[in-house]
Amino acid sequence: MAFLTNFYAFLFYFAAFVLLAGLTRKIIQYAITPAPLKIPTTPAPTTRWGVVLRMVREVVLFESLFRGNKWTWIFGWTFHFGLFLVTLRHLRYFIEPVPYVIQLIQPFGIYGGIAMVIGLAGLWSRRFLVDRIRYISAYSDHLMLALLLGIGCTGLLMKFFFHVDVVEIKTFFQGLYRYEIQPLPADPLLMLHLLLVAVLMIIFPFSKLLHAPGLFFSPTRNQVDNPREQRHIASWAKKLEH
């Protein structure tokens, strides 16, 4: 058993490192790459606050997607909102003492899990049913959905059918903070669930999951529409002026 525990301890150190380092690298790369021209998709807000509001609507409501395709929006939003609730629910494993809001949210986290799985199933079915989306799907697009669906289903199975010792899981993760390796319950379903989560963390910075940070750096969405009032110029373009 010690071997498995050690393996998972190492795996999560590694996954956390890759996720954080990879994301940081990408975010820095996005941040330092200049946007030399003003290209907001108009009509666009004319103030910073307006842009913040536009961004909030995109992140919380998927506003553009809503205008673009209702089915994808319904499934996509259900999945993400579910994922969000599930993530909040899982915070109980990582924070001690568990904050009051996180305690409150626990039951909703379960609905979130169900919503997530339904949303993913809907999204995946579109990849088969709609000829245009079938055409643009690579293996990786299918695998990504399979991975998330795998995480969701193993999670729900543990919740409803094959219970595991959640106290021990919490002890395991709390231990990792102090570089102490506490035993992990040797439950095959849990092993699979955690393995898939670690895989997700590792591929995050190398895959299309970069859409999450990417959105915040998208010039068509995050720029203020004020080119006549304020001169906007990138450093490399400035050099042309001499």
Binding-site ranges for ligand HEM (CB under 6 A): 59, 62, 65, 72, 76, 79-80, 123, 141, 144-145, 148, 200, 209, 211-212, 215
Q: Tell the smallest beta-carbon distance from residue 78 to another protein (Å).
A: 14
- Listed in sequence order, the residues at least 6 apart from 171 whose beta carbon sits closer than 8 Å to its beta carbon are 182, 183
| Residues in CB range of 98: below 8 A, 6 or more apart | 91, 92
Sole binder of another protein in the list 1, 2, 3, 42 (CB under 8 A): 42
**CB count in 10 Å sphere of residue 234:** 13
Q: Which whole-number Å values give the CA distances from 70 to 65, 80, 172, in the listed order? A: 8, 15, 42
Q: CB-wise, 8 or 62, nearer to another protein?
A: 62
Nearer to another protein, 65 or 181 (CB): 65
Contact partner, 214, from another protein, ligand HEM, none, Cβ < 5-8 Å per class:
another protein
Length of the chain: 242
Which CB, 5 or 137, lies closer to another protein? 137
What's the CA gap between 47 and 206, in Å, rounded? 33
Widest Cα–Cα separation across the chain: 71
User: Residue 20: which of ligand HEM, another protein, none does it interact with, CB under 5 to 8 A by kind?
Assistant: none
Residue pair 212/58 in contact by the 8 Å Cβ criterion: no
Among 100, 139, 161, 177, binds another protein (CB under 8 A): 139
Three-class DSSP category at 34? coil
Q: Which residue, 65 or 102, has its beta carbon nearer to ligand HEM? A: 65
Residue window 15-34: x/- pattern of binding to another protein, with contact defined by CB under 8 A: -----------x--xx--xx
Identify which of residues 4 and 37 has a Cβ nearer to another protein in the complex.
37
- Over 82-122, what HEC string results? HHHHHHHHHHHHHCCCCCHHHHHHHHHHHHHHHHHHHHHHH
119, 171 contact by CB (below 8 A): no
Compute the least distance from the CB of residue 65 to ligand HEM, in Å.
Answer: 5
- Asked if 239 touches another protein (CB under 8 A), the answer is no
Rank residues 18 and 215 by Cβ distance to ligand HEM and give the closer one: 215
Binding of residue 234 to another protein (CB under 8 A): yes
| Binding of another protein by 6 (CB under 8 A) | no
Could you tell me if 202 and 19 are in contact, meaning their C-beta atoms sit under 8 angstroms apart?
A: yes
Q: Which does 79 bind (CB under 5 to 8 A by kind): ligand HEM, another protein, none?
A: ligand HEM
